[in-house]
Structure 1
Amino acid sequence: MNRPAVDEEDVRRIVREVIASQAATQADRLSNSSTVGKSGRAAVLTAPRTLEIKRFPLRDIRSDEILVKVEACGICGTDIHCYNSDPFGLTPVVLGHEGTGEVLQVGSEVKMDSVGKPVKVGDKIVTSILENSEECMIAKYNPLKSNLCDDLKVYGLLPDEADNHFNGYFGEYLIIRPGSSFFVVNEVSLELRCLIEPAAVVCHAYQRAKDVGMRLNFRARVIVQGCGPIGLLMVAVLRTAGINNIIAIDGNPERLRMAASLGADETLNYKDYGGIDELAAKVESLTKGVGAHAGFQVTGVPQAFANLFKCIRRGGGICEVGHFVDGGECSVNPHHDICRKEITVTGSWVYNSFEYPNAYHFLQRAERIGLPVSSLVTHKFPLDRIQEAFDVNLRQEGVKVMVEI
């Protein structure tokens, strides 16, 4: 068979095309070195209530890592606990786990995110938990409960490393290591991206309540006790899920107004009542005289947990969401509060990585039906003013304080 001749110019053209294609692929995998600095700044918690802006060298990423230019990160209640007392003994540490950023470099071994989306330079990403160790018996035998592993890890709560100080989102860069769960979220706004992590907390709590049989249908009357960022997102997830009777309880009038905008039908300021008996009587008047079907406790105050039992009907349930750290003890009457009423009580502990897609779809759906979840971000500060940002959060001014990097 005669084959067409290939002259020398054709060979040169083919070689040029191959080289150009390889160069384009490499450009997709690794950003131009001129766009990545040799060092970057990070806010380091060096002692309780002491944040220092420091500059660290930025090492080259490895083939199984991703380099991210951080864009913003919300301040979480957990960050505040660490800031106040370093309860986990992490200092010095770069905090920040409600963050997001843009991919600058992608190691050659990394092809896609945790749900199979291709990942490339320029993508917007968020991270979830890191994979658990092989020794964790909980994750090994019940992967759906891997959030209960003692060695659970998230960026922003990782010890400092000699060759990598960019382990939290309160820095200019973040190096995503092997075994991390991360998600490409290009279609989500900056504010919503910073709300995905707390949204995963409330999506997990909602699912926990459903899993133990709490009545969460269109007819259910549900209490959300505590209207901080998590409580307000709890209101929004209940409304988005179709709950039509939501009672929000808090002591801050502005946060109660926001709860109403996010779907609460009734807002009760507990300071307007002479104690739990009066407050419980008001709840009964709003629930046909029998109390709420379910309640989500999101305050982190032990006595508030004890009080919530008085507002729940016989056969109802309580989901405890607010005690991420030990806030102390409270007194519950086992007969009156639990046994006689046959109350279901369950706890909710952070989330699993597979709940992140559910969380960002919830946020998108909430905005689509008119719930202003982005308005939860009430304050924005640059990295240089992060100390001020933490002080505003401590004074409980606004709702979600965001640090833009």
Structure 2
Amino acid sequence: MGRAAVLTGPKTLEIQRFPLRGIRPDEILVKVEACGICGTDIHCYNSDPFGLAPVVLGHEGTGEVMQVGSEVKMDSVGKPVQVGDKIVTSILENSQECMIAKYNPLKSNLCDDLKVYGLLPDEPDNHFNGYFGEYLIIRPGSSFFVVNDMSLELRCLIEPAAVVCHAYQRAKDVGMRLNFRARVVVQGCGPIGLLMIAVLRTAGVNNIIAIDGNPDRLKLAAELGADETLNYKDYSGIDDLAAKVESLTKGVGAHAGFQVTGVPQAFANLFKCIRRGGGICEVGHFVDGGECSINPHQDICRKEITVTGSWVYNSFEYPNAYHFLQRAERIGLPVASLVTHKFPLDRIQDAFDVNLRQEGVKVVVEA
């Protein structure tokens, strides 16, 4: 038997006990150690927008291997896997019927049938499909990685780190200037925004401007590599804030901006902070937050702004995220300090309440 926190409906979490079935030859049984609460978990908690309830949420997790199926020999990068290893996993590989994955594997993250642990429907014989439980059964077709040399905190950050590594690469792929002398705005200093700042600093960007309304998060942004921190509440409006950004970027605006708030109006506002010939990467809208208005002439056409979106990540970007976190620590960025709260599984409601009040940064539930 094992326990799991089941979302039975909007704003309703219940600790339930389930029988733990035996694993099959192509599966792995993991004893969950911890999992971070993601913004997607919060959206699911608030309104169950994907209609998954009853469901065990949690995809920013890690745990220890308890059993390895006889057919499983290595992780997704060729490391041997055995009982006692610390591992992370999130994505299941896409079905062979997906035309996007078939003809462009580098875009498999855009498949309509993308499957993520913690966002999988409950099954009659397996209720351990998310990390907010005591166990997780890794099924065939999953990408998973042995990460024995990482702390618990860093292991819980690999999944969100993959999100920002993917966004960084998306911006580079469309030609945004992200070199040593680039001036870059990161709008929003939640967990993803703060990791975005750390990625940029680790990659060598030396002029980063962080924008948020929370002084504590702006302080952490500076510790993670932001050269300037702007509290938008100190300005009369977007024109006033954009003028400040211009004053910090030789009077012409930033080369690039990453929008990481999930607030539609923030996306519209960011155009005012970008120079002619610059670019914007939209990272924050993982759920439909509504619409906003922009001026196609003023905001895009006359400035030749490049706009790109970033959606989740591909499984092969987990190793990239792993190496980013290690590199960030080596150069002195306190990425592990993003984990500010830890709660046992029995207190998962308290963990969600802290997250909803936006206290701290990354809230972790420990099994």
Report the RMSD for the aligned CA atoms in angstroms: 0.3
CA apart distance, 1:172:
0.2
Q: Which residue of 1 aligns with 2:354?
A: 392
Gaps of 5+ in 1: 1-39
Q: Is the Cα–Cα contact under 8 Å of residues 46 and 91 in structure 1 kept in the other structure?
A: yes
CA distance, structure 2, for counterparts of residue 366 and residue 205 of structure 1: 17
Structure 2 CA distance for aligned equivalents of residues 134 and 235 of structure 1: 36
Per the TM alignment, residue 128 of structure 1 is displaced from its structure 2 partner at its CA by 2.9
Moved over 6 A (4+): none
What displacement does 1:115 show?
0.4
Q: Do the aligned partners of 1:250 and 1:269 also contact (CA within 8 Å) in 2?
A: yes
Shift of 1:134: 1.1
Question: Displacement of 1:213 after TM fit?
Answer: 0.1
CA distance in 1, matches of 2:80, 2:269: 49
Deviation per residue, 1:224-259 (Å, 9 max, x gap): 000000000000000000000000000000000000
Q: Secondary structure at the match of 1:353?
A: coil
Aligned-pair CA distance for 1:148: 0.1
Between the two proteins, the alignment pairs up a number of residues equal to 366
TM-score scaled by length of structure 1: 0.90
Partners of 2:207 and 2:240 in 1: CA distance: 20
Per-residue deviation, 1:129: 1.0
In 1, Cα distance between equivalents of 2:150 and 2:312: 22
2:73 counterpart (83, 108, 111): 111
Q: For 1:107-139, what per-residue CA distance to the aligned partner results, in whole angstroms no more than 9, with x for missing partners? A: 000000000000000000000310101110000
Q: Percent identity?
A: 93
SS in 1 for 2:211: strand
CA-to-partner distance for each residue in 1:83-115, whole Å, 9 max, x for gaps?
A: 000000000000000000000000000000000
- How far is the alpha carbon of 1:289 from its aligned partner? 0.1
**Would you say the 8 A contact 1:74–1:401 is kept in 2?**
yes
Q: CA deviation at 1:194?
A: 0.2
Contact 1:128 1:356 in 2 (8 A): no
SS of aligned partner of 1:360? helix
- CA offsets, 1:304-324, max 9 Å, x none? 000000000000000000000
Q: What's the offset of the Cα at 1:261?
A: 0.2
Who is 1:284 aligned against? 246
Tell me how far apart the structure 1 counterparts of residues 115 and 329 of structure 2 sit (CA, whole Å). Answer: 30
Q: Matches of 1:129 and 1:70 in 2, distance apart?
A: 16
> 1:310-329, aligned counterparts within 5 Å?
310-329=272-291
CA distance in structure 1 between the aligned counterparts of 2:344 and 2:149, rounded to whole angstroms: 24
SS at match of 1:370: coil
Q: State the shift of 1:175 in Å.
A: 0.2
Task: Check the 8 A contact 2:25/2:71 in 1, yes or no.
Answer: yes
**CA shift at 1:328, angstroms?**
0.3
- Determine which structure has more spread, i.e. the larger CA radius of gyration: 1
- Aligned to 1:207, the other structure's residue is in SS state helix
Contact 2:29-2:138 within 8 A present in 1 as well: yes
**TM-score w.r.t. length of structure 2:** 1.00
Counterpart Cα distance in 2 of 1:317 and 1:50: 41
Partners of 2:60 and 2:90 within 8 A in 1: no
Query: Would you say the 8 A contact 1:294–1:317 is kept in 2?
Result: yes
| Whole-angstrom CA distance in 2 between matches of 1:298 and 1:152 | 22
- Which residue is 1:71 aligned to? 33
The answer for the alignment partner of 1:17 in structure 2 is: none
